[in-house]
């Protein structure tokens, strides 16, 4: 196994471990790639390996998703849940398509921006976690449609690498009245169309620059992301229900600070 393949495997593992926790998987992968000297054409690797995490979350929730879609033709609650996810997904579609090139060519190329966003996002996450909130919604599948749209607007903030898609949606859901478990679970559901859409669009945009070597690296990253994500998804809901999100906020602050120091020293 070559050095590049080992790095691709490590980055895939990192993607799977961080995709569904509010620490910014893209930020982690981009920073790790920066310091390891890993480059991918059009930054496609960093986006396309997310397919592994998509498959993992679909697999974990397969039984529930099948029951929801099977019941949708005759069950208003199932249809409303599907609509809530699609409505929350809509803002990311609009902004993602409009700003794709700027995000990939400017924001993805700035380790400094990522590090600053990690620190700021960590502060926000700790602050929200310490607020004494009275949750009004305990079921991620029964969130009001208007609330779902607002959560989707929060998700748009994650177009900036280092913000964290799950972090933005979880903070938004908590602030809007969801319980900690419901906020995490709705973030899981919303990740499916969001990440699938990002994967498909990025694959289309980079179809001319992906050679066999790049596809091989992506395949390795995909497998590692899938395996790691399955374990994270299965344990995260129980953890946050008991302990909240503060530990992830502190991790973001520590990592972001270390990266800022490393950049200042010229690394």
Per residue in 80-101, pLDDT tens? 999 999 999 999 999 988 888 8
Is the distance from CB of 237 to CB of 184 less than 8 angstroms? Answer: yes
| pLDDT score of 122 | 95
**The residue count for the chain:** 267
Report the percent of the chain where pLDDT is more than 70. Answer: 99
Evaluate the CA torsion angle 20, 201, 86, 98 in order and state its sign: positive
Our count of domains for the chain comes to: 1
Tell me what the mean pLDDT of segment 234-254 comes to. 90
229, with CB counted inside 10 A (0-12, 13-18, 19+), is: buried
Task: pLDDT band for 42, please (50, 70, 90 cuts).
Answer: low
Among 249, 262, 265, CA closest to 118: 249
Expressed as residue numbers, the domain containing 13 is 3-264
With CA atoms as reference, report the closest residue to 186 among 199, 210, 169, 205: 169
The pLDDT of residue 1: 54
Q: List C-alpha distances in Å: 93 to 83, 136, 141, 159, 201.
A: 15, 28, 21, 11, 10
pTM score, whole prediction? 0.86
């Amino acid at each position: 196994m070559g050095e590049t393949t080992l790095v691709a495997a490590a980055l895939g593992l990192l993607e799977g471990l961080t995709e569904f926790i509010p620490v910014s998987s893209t930020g982690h992968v981009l920073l790790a790639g920066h310091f390891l000297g890993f480059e991918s054409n059009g930054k496609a690797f960093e986006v396309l390996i997310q397919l592994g995490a998509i498959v993992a979350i679909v697999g974990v929730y397969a039984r529930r998703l099948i029951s929801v879609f099977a019941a949708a033709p005759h069950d208003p609650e199932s249809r409303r849940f599907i609509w809530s996810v699609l409505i929350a997904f809509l803002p990311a579609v609009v902004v993602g398509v409009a700003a794709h090139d700027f995000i990939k060519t400017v924001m993805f190329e700035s380790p400094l921006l990522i590090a600053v966003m990690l620190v700021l996002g960590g502060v926000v996450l700790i602050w929200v976690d310490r607020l004494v909130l009275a949750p009004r919604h305990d079921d991620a599948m029964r969130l009001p449609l208007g609330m779902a749209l607002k959560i989707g607007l929060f998700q748009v903030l994650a177009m900036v690498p280092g913000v964290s898609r799950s972090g933005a949606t979880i903070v938004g859901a908590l602030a809007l009245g969801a319980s900690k478990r419901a906020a995490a679970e709705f973030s899981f559901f919303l990740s499916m169309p969001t990440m699938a859409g990002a994967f498909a669009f990025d694959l289309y945009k980079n179809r001319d620059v992906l050679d066999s070597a790049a596809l091989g690296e992506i395949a390795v990253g995909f497998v590692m992301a899938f395996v790691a994500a399955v374990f994270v998804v299965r344990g995260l809901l129980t953890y946050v229900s008991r302990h909240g999100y503060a530990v992830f906020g502190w991790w973001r602050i520590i990592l972001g600070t270390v990266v800022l120091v490393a950049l200042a020293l010229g690394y």
